[in-house]
Structure 1
Amino acid sequence: MSATPLVRSSAVLRVAVVGSGPSGCYTAQSLVQQDPDVLVDVLDRLPCPYGLVRYGVAPDHEKIKSLQTSLRTILEHERVRFLGGVGIGPGGVPAERLRELYHAVVYCVGAATDRHLGIPGEELPGSWSATEFVSWYSAHPDSAADGFVAGARSAVVIGVGNVAVDVTRMLARGVTELSPTDIPHPALTALAASRVTEVHMVGRRGPSQARFTTKELRELGSLPDTEVAVHAEELARDPAYLDPSALPAPQRRNVEVLRGWAAAESRPSAHRISLRFFLRPVELLANGGRVGAVRFERTVPDGRGGVRGTGEFEEIEAQLVLRSVGYLGVPLEGLPFDPATGTVPHLGGRVLREGTVAPGEYVAGWIKRGPTGVIGTNRPCAKETATSLLEDASTLVHKDLPGDPLEALRAAGVEPVGWSGWCAIEAAEAELGASLGRGVVKLPDWQSLMNAARGR
């Protein structure tokens, strides 16, 4: 609360923030810190707040998930109001109507889909995006997928970022470690029965270019009864691995961890995680009507920071394939969109329409800058947008509004889930966990969430 408040002598500014993840919460926080009178409604399509902190952080990462406590403080601010279960766009409140109800709208909707590999066999049964897998074990109510690990003995995770590390770790976790978390009970039961004993995490470039953080990487080596294996000859193809002195500190630490695993002796374990590099997926191969293996082409550094194919191929057996090659933003109704970057064109967070600032429309988070950075990256991003908005406030407040937006939404047949409804969901999840002999356990579907929110 160290920001210097902006003092205005004009009417109360009403702002809608669409999205209650970190970027939305930090935007609301920055607005109320800088303006002593602004009123902020944080709207979310889901009845639950916190975005990817609730539905993207792995259940065994309890320290990161504890960030919900600070986000909660923001949403409980006296001038911030949470309105869950309010979709914007097709099937929900039209974006044009939302702009009529508020002086300004800030879109903080993240990147809603994932990138594809674009290779033959990608749509075979047993081939999924890591996003689908994460949604399943995070109890996202839109997750209709199931049966990820059924019948699988070997899994391939394509990608070497933190999400790839997360799903790899979750496949190797035992029920003893997962039971105390908030993982939904169906996912816990399925993972407890899993016969996956080998997980291959594969990147097309070298170890010095991997995007995982050292903390995440080291966690793989601390899993009970799990061996982490690397191929020394693959690591050696990376010149920066052989001489990491010029690497930035984060990449240099990654290389040091990998060096330690390369020097370690193999040991019998219930699970084996194999980290592979310089392999580019070219095809998913079928076996019995579903994925049975992944065909890779060996790559080598091209001397320009990329890789080139060698014409040598290798097949890795897998009955489960998870692609983790990045998120992608999707167009929003009524807003301009750059398909090349998956973002909304903007200037300091102000939405640009054909190069001109659109009054009262703003963006923050991944839809503004692309799916980059960590949770903390959203703070300065949100502050920049909030500052731009408040610089425009003296003009924005001249627009006449029809009254309290909540009443207008209710008059249109929309009944948002307020903060008390969210607290009722929390209580129901605590009750469910107690009935299962566990801690808090997430409700995994829309009906149970809405029943809890409505006190049914």
Structure 2
Amino acid sequence: MSLRVAVIGAGPAGIYASDLLIRNEEHDIYVDLFEQMPAPFGLIRYGVAPDHPRIKGIVKSLHNVLDKPRLRLLGNITVGEDITIDELQDYYDAIVISTGAVRDRPLTIPGGEHSIGAGEFVGFYDGNPRFERDWDLSARQVAVIGVGNVGLDIARILAKTGDELLVTEIPDNVYSSLSKNQAEEVHMFGRRGPAQAKFTPKELKELDLSDTINVVVSPEDIDYDEQSTAARRSDKSLDLNCQVLEQYAIREPKDAPHTLHIHFFEEPVEVLVDGESIVGLRTERQEYDGTGAVVGTGEFTDWPVQAVYHAIGYRSEPVEGVPFDHERNVIPSDRGKVDAGLYVTGWIKRGPVGLIGNTKSDAKETTDLLIDDALAGKLSPRKYDDPSAIVDLLESREIPYTTWEGWYRLDDAERRAGEGCEILGRERKKIVEWEEMVEHARGVPVVS
């Protein structure tokens, strides 16, 4: 049986799902991978801090999938605007939605509307063309709410110098802002203890590799209840986290221009403002309640900060023409099946939790359901059999779509831009303007 499947979203979830489909031995499956951005890779390109070189290994594996002949990339297309879900059903036997989550959950405490979502700052320093080009980094004292890897990335970027990051792929506008960074103290806040922090040990330990960052943890914050101790015994990664934090708590301070404080048992309760300016963050001290949870002690502290970032989770956005759960910010499904012929995978399916391993297993669960429906004859056959029919439709609408061949052109342009820098060994410099990305990808001369 021959199947044509549309996968919407060319981040890791969409690429893993595409790979599973085209490698399926029971069906002859071809996949068209639709992407809103002019370039693929999703949060691997636009959601990971630029000083994480090991991400290159993930990009390489995703790149190998996109090189496969049964997979076709169609970028710079917004499904729901340029083409609808109903229209796609005429060209494909099934649709898999993997649009991820890039927007921030709101910080719902008094004054929280004055804080900055992690996704906004990450979008800026990763050169995402949908986000700001310039960033005000004049605050000398900064708060970061949330003790996960995203919060850690933000705190680390704020505590590094622009020159340290110049060897990465950051574009010129990002370097220009980071070079003016005035932050001297960065405070991270978590409402629970060290055993509940969502760091990964490698990221936590790597903080100390920078000569510009002095990491400080208060010995008073190194506390575990019975449940926390049991969790450490059963989870090697969590135990390593706690060991690193304990070492930070007992060592002598390092001489460095930026200090990164990691605070536990402090729940943010209010962003303090004077007019439109942030002047502080109020937290309430927490303690274990004997059940593994924490409760407030009634002891409040006002921390003098001039900027507050919150890294408390991303949220997905609806796709036009598809049901959406606005409470959970996901497309509701049964293990990934919305209806016969319509499926979801990744964060749009389960929410913004889990790592790459979870994304792979999630994609398999979804694609297995799709294959089962195909075997059972539950899929409605497509109206158009010619693979070029969808391209004809896009061209008739004058949509400047990009392709995998176009990615090679854009990739080459970014690498050449990196080679032209004074910093030796710089692999690439990201192109940040949307239209310029499209022009490079489509082979159109770029006017400088």
What's the TM-score, normalizing by structure 2? Answer: 0.92
**Is the Cα contact below 8 Å between 2:142 and 2:308 reproduced in 1?**
yes
2:94 is matched with 104
Stretch deviating more after TM superposition (48-57 or 67-76):
67-76
Q: Which of 10, 13, 17 is 1:27 aligned to? A: 17
| 2:357 counterpart of 1:376 | yes
Residues 137 and 183 in structure 1, CA contact (< 8 A), matched pair in contact too: yes
The SS at the match of 1:81 is: strand
- Indicate how the Cα distance of structure 1 residues 202 and 247 shifts in structure 2: closer, same or farther if over 3 A, else same: farther
Note the 1:182-201 alignment, pairs <5 A: 182-201=169-188
Matching residue of 1:261: 248
Matched, 1:156 2:143: yes
Q: Which runs of 5+ in 1 are unaligned?
A: 1-9, 352-357
Indicate whether 1:407 and 2:407 are aligned: no
Aligned counterpart, 1:393: 374
Provide the C-alpha distance between the structure 1 equivalents of 2:185 and 2:235, rounded to a whole number of angstroms: 31
1:43 aligns with 2:34: yes
Q: 1:131 corresponds to which residue?
A: 119
| 1:350 aligned residue | 337
- CA distance, structure 2, for counterparts of residue 136 and residue 239 of structure 1: 41
Q: What does residue 65 of structure 2 align with?
A: 74
SS in structure 1 at match of 2:414: helix
Q: How does 1:203-282 map to 2 (within 5 A)?
A: 203-236=190-223, 246-282=233-269
Q: C-alpha separation between the residues in 2 aligned to 1:244 and 1:73?
A: 38
**2:144 alignment partner, SS class:** strand
Q: 1:140 aligns with which of 97, 114, 128?
A: 128
The letter for the 2-side match of 1:185 is D
Aligned-pair CA distance for 1:239: 5.5
CA distance in 1, matches of 2:341, 2:140: 53
1:38 partner SS: strand
- 1:174-218: CA deviation from partner (whole Å, max 9, x where unpaired): 334311110121111221221111111110111111111111111
**Structure 2 residue 441 is the aligned partner of structure 1 residue 453:** yes
Shift in CA distance, 123/397, structure 1 to aligned 2, threshold 3 Å = closer
| Residue among 71, 89, 94 paired with 2:84 | 94
Opposite residue 71 of structure 1, the aligned amino acid is L
* Aligned-partner Cα distance in 2 for 1:360–1:289: 49
Say which SS state the counterpart of residue 142 (structure 2) adopts. strand
**Which residue does 1:429 correspond to in 2?**
414
Deviations 1:98-127 (A, max 9, x none): 222211110001123221221122223xx3
Shift of 1:295: 1.0
Assess if the C-alpha contact under 8 Å between 2:134 and 2:177 holds in 1. no
| Alpha carbons 2:225, 2:292 under 8 Å: kept | no
Distance in structure 2 (CA, Å) of the matches to 1:427 and 1:248? 43
Distance (whole Å) between structure 1 residues aligned to residue 232 and residue 411 of structure 2: 49
Deviates more, 1:170-179 or 1:195-204: 170-179
User: Equivalent residue of 1:392, what SS?
Assistant: helix
Q: 1:300-332 deviations in whole A, cap 9, x for unaligned?
A: 122333222222111112122110001122222
Q: Which moved more, 1:174-183 or 1:253-262?
A: 174-183
Cα separation, 2, equivalents of 1:201 and 1:32: 44
| Residue 238 of structure 1, CA deviation | 5.1
Q: 1:399 to 1:450 in 2, by over 3 A?
A: closer
Structure 1 position 407, deviation (Å): 1.8
The structural deviation recorded for 1:426 is: 1.2
Displacement of 1:47:
0.7
- Give yes or no for the alignment of 1:367 onto 2:348: yes
Partner of residue 15 from structure 1, selected from 5, 26, 34: 5
TM-score, normalised to structure 1's length?
A: 0.91
- State the alpha-carbon separation in 1 of the partners of residues 198 and 78 from structure 2: 33
- For residue 110 of structure 2, the aligned residue among 120, 123, 134 is 120
Unmatched 5+ residue regions in structure 2?
Answer: none
Structure 1 distance, partners of 2:111, 2:417, is 40
Q: Provide the secondary structure at the position in 2 that maps to 1:13.
A: strand
- Range 197-206 or range 224-233, more displaced: 224-233
**Structure 2 counterparts to residues 303-322 of structure 1, below 5 A:** 303-322=290-309
Q: Distance in 1 between matches of 2:162 and 2:36?
A: 32
How many aligned residue pairs are there? 436
| Matching of residue 290 in structure 1 with residue 290 in structure 2 | no
